[in-house]
Amino acid sequence: MANLHFHYGTMGCSKSAQLIINAYNQNKNGNKTEIIKPKIDNRFSENMVNSRIGISAPARIMDNLSQWMPAPDTKMVLIDEIQFFSPSDIDHLVHIADISTVIIMCYGLMIDSNECIFPASRRLIEVGAKLHRMESTCQIQGCMHLATHHLRYDSDGHVVRAGAQIAVGDSIYKSVCRKHFNMLYHDKNKQR
């Protein structure tokens, strides 16, 4: 088994739920896990990984991973919202993966709402992390295509096309297929 993994998908595809389930199963089998999430992710709580389906698990909150090392008896590290860390944090994870038998499972987004890849996600690809695409369907009513993109909306319901790459929160986002992203982002159709 590869020891550096990247589970990626759009918002709402159960990334956090799968992380929590994975940690539960590993701990049940006697394999100690550590769960980490970035400090910037405070949507639901500061010290928990929470899934929209109602399950949660305690997590260690970190600004960066540069000085962190897993405990000696840890078998698996699960990191939520990996896109909010930096490329140098990914390099540190690679170092840990290369010098130990700890399995590192990263969960997060590949691209932002402007079709730009997050730097940490790019770095995971560059360093050869094993990629696992997590799938869900478009959130436009009636569409059953694969969700591949995110649309960000302002408080008036208009698509946001510029600004900071990171805007924490999920009430202003929709996960959509490529067709609906292109229609709505490029304002070819006013459907929401």
Q: Strand, coil or helix: what is 71?
A: coil
Q: Which of 81, 115, 126, 135 is catalytic?
A: 81
Q: Which tokens hold the place of 155?
A: 């408080």
Burial class of residue 38, CB neighbours in 10 A (0-12, 13-18, 19+): buried
81 noted as active-site residue = yes
B/e letters for 73-90, b = 16+ CB within 10 Å, e = fewer, are: eebbbbbbbbbbbbbebb
Pairing, β 103-108 against β 4-8 = parallel
The residues annotated as belonging to the active site are 81
